[in-house]
Amino acid sequence: MQEGMKNGCAGAPAVLLERISTLLAEGTVARVLGWKAGDMAYNPEPAYFETQEALKDFVYDGFCGANLSKYMIEASKLEGKTLVCLKPCDTYSFNQLLKEHRVDREKAYIIGVGCGGKLDVEQIRRKGIKGIQSIDGAQLVWEESDPGTELKGIGDDVLTIRTIYGEKTLPYGEALLERCHVCKGKEHRVYDELIGQSRDTKDADRFAQVERIEAMSPEEKFAFFQQELSKCIRCNACRNVCPACSCRKCVFDSNKFDSSQKANADSFEEKMFHIIRAFHVAGRCTDCGECSRVCPQGIPLHLFNRKFIKDINELYGTYQAGENAEDKMPLTSFDFGDAEPGIVGERG
Amino acid sequence: MPMKDEFKPKIVAFCCNWCSYAGADLAGSSRLTYPADVKIIRVPCSCRVNPMFILRAFEKGADGVILCGCHPGDCHYSTGNYYARRRMTLLFSMLDYLGVENGRTRVEWVSAAEGVKFSQTMNEFVEKIHSLGKNVRLEDLRCRKE
Ligand code: SF4
Ligand code: SF4
Ligand code: FES
C-alpha cells in the first residue's frame, strides 16, 4: 500500500502498483486507466495516469466499483496503448464493446484485477450508518502467487467505519453492491495478464426480484414502478455510465424525437425514458450493474434490464452479453420458429 | 345516436406497405367493414416500427396499438418481420411487466390477399379495446381532457 494516500483511501496492492509502474516505465503502455482517490475514502474515481510519479494517487480497493471499459472507447482513439484495469464483470462490458466495434483490442493492455466484491456506500448508509468520515477494511489483501484464482468467500471480514457519531462496524458482506450478490463469476473474459485473487460473493439469484414482480397483479406492478420511477430526475447518469449506451448521438439528446432532457414532466415521460433506455441495451446489457450503482435516486434499474435478459433467456435461449466477442446478439438475429408476440398474454 | 360519454377507442394500426396495407385496401374494395376508430399508419416494413412509435402512439392518446406485416417468410425485405417479431415480443412483455394491460398491443401477419383477415382482426381488436376501456396508464397526463 502506498504511503500518505488522500482521505484515508486504502491505496492499491503493491503487486499491482509495481507491475503497472513497470509497464509504464518500459513504454509498453502510454497511459494507465485506473482509479484515483476521491474526496472521501469511499469514492475513488476513474482516472488516467501518464507518469510513474502520478501513480502515487492510484487506488484499487473495495470501493472501486466503477467499470472502466466505456472509457476505452475514447482511449482507443489515442496514440499508443492504454493499460486498463478490469474486474471480472468489467471484462464482459469490454467484450461487448469489442463485438460492437467500439473499442480497439490492439489499443488496450488489459490487466484483469482480482475482485473480492465491491462496496456500496449507500448500502452502508441504509444500515443506519451516517456521518461517515473514514472507512477501514476496504483494502485488498492479495497473496503473491496464483493470480486469477478464486478464494473462499468473504468470511468474517469487517469494515470499521469512523463517523461523526463514533465508530461503527459492519460485516463486509453486508456492504456489497447489489450486483456482487448476483455476480456472474470471477473469471475474466478478456485480458493480457491477471493480477490478484478474487473471492466468491454470489449468494442470491439474479432473477428473484424480477420473478417477484412478475407474480404481482397488473395494479401492483403499475404501483410499484410508478413509485420507483417517480423518483427519477432525468439526470441521465444511468445512460452516461452505461457501457452499452455508447451511441455517438443518443435519442435522448435529440430534439427531433422530442425526448431530450425532459425531467419528469409527466408520468408518461418517466416510463418512456426507462422503457426505451432498457430496450436500447436489450441483448447488449451485460448486467454490469453500473446504472443502479450510479443512480442518485436509488432506482433499481437492473429490474428493467434483467426483465429483458430473463425474457431473452426463456424465449431465445440462454444468452450472456459479453461472455465472448463473437456470438450473435439476440436482437440482431432471429429464428424461423420464434414465438409470436401473443405469447406474452398466453404466459399469463 | 351515440350517448355523449360513450367510449370511442382510438386505435393505431401500423401496416406494412407491401402486405397488410394492401390487405386493408382489399378489405375496403371488397366492402368488408372495420370500425372507423382504426387509424392506419403505413410503414415500409413491419421492421420500421421502432418501440418508440408504439409508445408515442399511446402517449398521443391511443387506446390500442396493432402492428401488421407480411407473414413470416414473406417480408419484402426478406427478414424484416423476423426482427420485428422479437422486438415486439420483448416490448409487449415489458409493458405487461410494468402493469400495462397487454391486450392493448398486438401483432398480426396479414397478406395482401387477406382482406377478410384484416377486417376480422380489426373488429376483434376494437372489441378487445372496448372491453379494456380507456388507456390511462400510458397516456400523457397533460393531454387529458377531463
Ligand atoms: S440515474 Fe437515476 S435519476 Fe438519473 S436519469 Fe437514470 S434513473 Fe433517473
Ligand atoms: S444497462 Fe446498466 S447493467 Fe446494463 S450494461 Fe448498461 S450500465 Fe451495465
Ligand atoms: S415488407 Fe411487410 S413485413 Fe417487411
Chain A touched by B60 (CB under 8 Å):
no
- Of the candidates B73, B89, B140, the beta carbon closest to that of A266 is on B140
The answer to whether A1 and A10 are in contact (CB under 8 A) is yes
The domain limits of chain A are 14-195, 208-343
Q: What are phi and psi of A258, to 5 degrees?
A: 65, 25
Q: Which atom of ligand 3 is nearest to the CA of B46?
A: 3
Residue B114 pLDDT more than 90?
A: yes
- Of the candidates A223, A304, A315, the beta carbon closest to that of B89 is on A315
**CATH number of residue B78's parent domain:** 3.40.50
Q: Which atom of ligand 2 is nearest to the CA of A278?
A: 1
Residue type, B35: P
The pLDDT value given to residue A257 = 66
Q: What are phi and psi of A120, to 5 degrees?
A: -125, 110
ipTM attached to this prediction? 0.91
Residue B144 domain-assigned (yes or no): no
Give the CB-side neighbour count of residue B29, counting CA atoms within 13 A. Answer: 8
Looking at the 3D structure of chain B, how many domains does it have?
1
Residues of chain A in contact with residue B106, where contact means CB-CB under 8 angstroms, are 341-342
Residue B141 domain-assigned (yes or no): no
Nearest in space to A32 (alpha carbons), one of A9, A64, A54, A15: A54
Chain B touched by A337 (CB under 8 Å):
no
* CA B43 / ligand 1 centre spacing (Å): 33
The pLDDT value given to residue B75 = 96
Tell me if A250 CB under 6 Å of ligand 1.
no
The answer to whether A108 and A81 are in contact (CB under 8 A) is yes
Chain A touched by B131 (CB under 8 Å):
no
Nearest in space to A133 (alpha carbons), one of A160, A153, A157: A160
Q: What are phi and psi of B6, to 5 degrees?
A: -65, 140
Confidence at B136, pLDDT banded by 50, 70, 90: confident
Q: Choosing among A247, A258, A334, which should be mutated to test the B contact, i.e. which has the most B CBs within 10 A? A: A334
- Of the candidates B59, B92, B100, the beta carbon closest to that of A341 is on B92
Q: Which atom of ligand 3 is nearest to the CA of B19?
A: 2
Tell me if A232 CB under 6 Å of ligand 1.
yes
Residue B86 domain-assigned (yes or no): yes
Residue B97 domain-assigned (yes or no): yes
Q: Which residues of chain A have pLDDT under 50?
A: 1
DSSP annotation string for A59-109? E-STT-----TTHHHHHTTSSS-EEEEE-HHHHHHHHHHHHTT-S-GGGEE
Nearest CA to ligand 2 atom 2: A291
Chain A touched by B144 (CB under 8 Å):
no
* CB-based contact A344 B102, cutoff 8 Å: yes
Nearest CA to ligand 2 atom 5: A285
Tell me if A234 CB under 6 Å of ligand 1.
yes
Nearest in space to A86 (alpha carbons), one of A58, A101, A62, A65: A65
Residue B63 domain-assigned (yes or no): yes
- Of the candidates B86, B99, B107, the beta carbon closest to that of A221 is on B99
In angstroms, the CA A221 to CA B139 distance is 17
Residue B2 domain-assigned (yes or no): no
Cα dihedral A120, A126, A129, A133 sign: positive
Residue type, A340: E
- Count of A-B CB contacts under 8 Å: 109
The pLDDT value given to residue B110 = 97
Residue-range definition of the domain harbouring residue B70: 11-136
Residue A237 CB partners (closer than 8 Å, separation 6+) = A294, A295, A296
Residue B4 domain-assigned (yes or no): no
* CA B73 / ligand 3 centre spacing (Å): 9
pTM, two decimal places = 0.93
Q: Which atom of ligand 2 is nearest to the CA of A321?
A: 5
Cα dihedral A181, A185, A187, A191 sign: negative
Place of cell 396499438: B65
Q: Which atom of ligand 1 is nearest to the CA of A239?
A: 6
Residues of chain A in contact with residue B110, where contact means CB-CB under 8 angstroms, are none
What are the start-end ranges of the E strands in chain B? 11-16, 38-43, 64-69, 105-109
DSSP annotation string for B21-60? HHHHHHHHHTT----TTEEEEEESSGGG--HHHHHHHHHT
In angstroms, the CA A37 to CA A11 distance is 8
The answer to whether B93 and A311 are in contact (CB under 8 A) is yes
Q: Which of A67, A68, A178, A242 to mutate to test the pocket of ligand 2 (most atoms within 8 A of CB)?
A: A242
In angstroms, the CA A144 to CA A236 distance is 41
Query: Which tens digits make up the pLDDT trace of B3-15?
Result: 556 889 999 999 9
Chain A touched by B89 (CB under 8 Å):
yes
| A273 → chain B, closest CA residue | B52
- Give the closest-approach CA distance of A299 to chain B in angstroms: 15
Chain B touched by A1 (CB under 8 Å):
no
In angstroms, the CA A320 to CA A146 distance is 27
- Give the closest-approach CA distance of B79 to chain A in angstroms: 9
Place of cell 370511442: B8
Query: Which tens digits make up the pLDDT trace of B63-93?
Result: 999 999 999 999 999 999 999 999 999 999 9
Residue B6 domain-assigned (yes or no): no
Residues 30-59 of B with CB under 8 A from A: 51-52, 55, 58-59
Tell me if B23 CB under 6 Å of ligand 3.
no
Give the residues across from A34 on adjacent strands.
A47
